[in-house]
Amino acid sequence: MGQASSASADAVLAIAKQKVPFLPPLGSPNPANPLVFFDIAVSGQPLGRVILELKQDVVPKTSQNFLELCQRGPGKGFKSSEFHRIIPKFMCQGGDFTAGNGTGGMSIYGAKFPDENFKLRHLGPGILSMANSGPNTNGSQFFLCTAQTSWLDGKHVVFGQVVEGYEVVKAMEACGSSSGATSLDVSIADCGPMTSGSVKAAGAAGVTGHISSALCPGGSVQRSYSSVPRPATFTYGCRSLSSASASLRRPFSVRGVQRVCAGALPSKSSRMSLRRL
């Protein structure tokens, strides 16, 4: 935890209870893709759950790395690790489960692995992307966008999105500062794959979405997504997906921020750059 603008735990907890207009920035989730959860804590107090879709259909290797790290224990994966760098109106960075300060972490493939592709873009709040220290240096560090960050396209691999719990991300954001130092400890108390339950996402203009997951015979996971009004349904074998069109609210970008880096401690001259997350 670093010195940052003061935010009390009670104030942050209150933010997490306030629903915000939100739709997944990459569109309706693909029901064939895995869902994972983060149970977030602030200074040891439960804040809420964030549910993420991993875009295994577009970036399978990057998604598998994240999925496996969600299932490992403390010190070997994301469980009990902290978001060491949070910049409001930009992003929340975590995934350094070895050093905890942005200099560590490792992938399931070894220390680093190559950029898989840049097909997905940093379209808006809720994007899940890999932090790095340059081309082909992906490890375990990642970031959750709280703004549109299009200048990162082609530099950081987008591999997922928030589908529920964006109000928790907004509460996490309140713990940050322009330097990235946090006023409260923000940690992943628990994490793992979603095998059952439901997901609800509030969209712009009162549109709400609902994702349900259930274990199918043979161990496969059945998921469905629906939103109202004007649902359009798609069927994928035993899976169905419903969605409604709604405009995404695009926040302004943060001037001076260029990359999200990992592997080195921030220097005073580069505090507003996106270093390896």
Which residues are the active-site residues? 85, 90, 93, 132, 143, 152, 156
Specify the residue for token string 């898989």: 116
What three-state secondary structure class fits 52? strand
173 DSSP β-pair partners = none
Residues 101, 102, 108, 110, CA torsion sign? negative
Residues 86, 165: Cα–Cα separation, whole Å: 17
How many Cβ atoms are within 10 Å of 197's Cβ, its own excluded? 14
Asked if the bond preceding 193 is cis, omega within 30° of 0, the reply is: no
The angle that helices 9-16 and 166-173 make with each other, rounded to 10 degrees, is 160
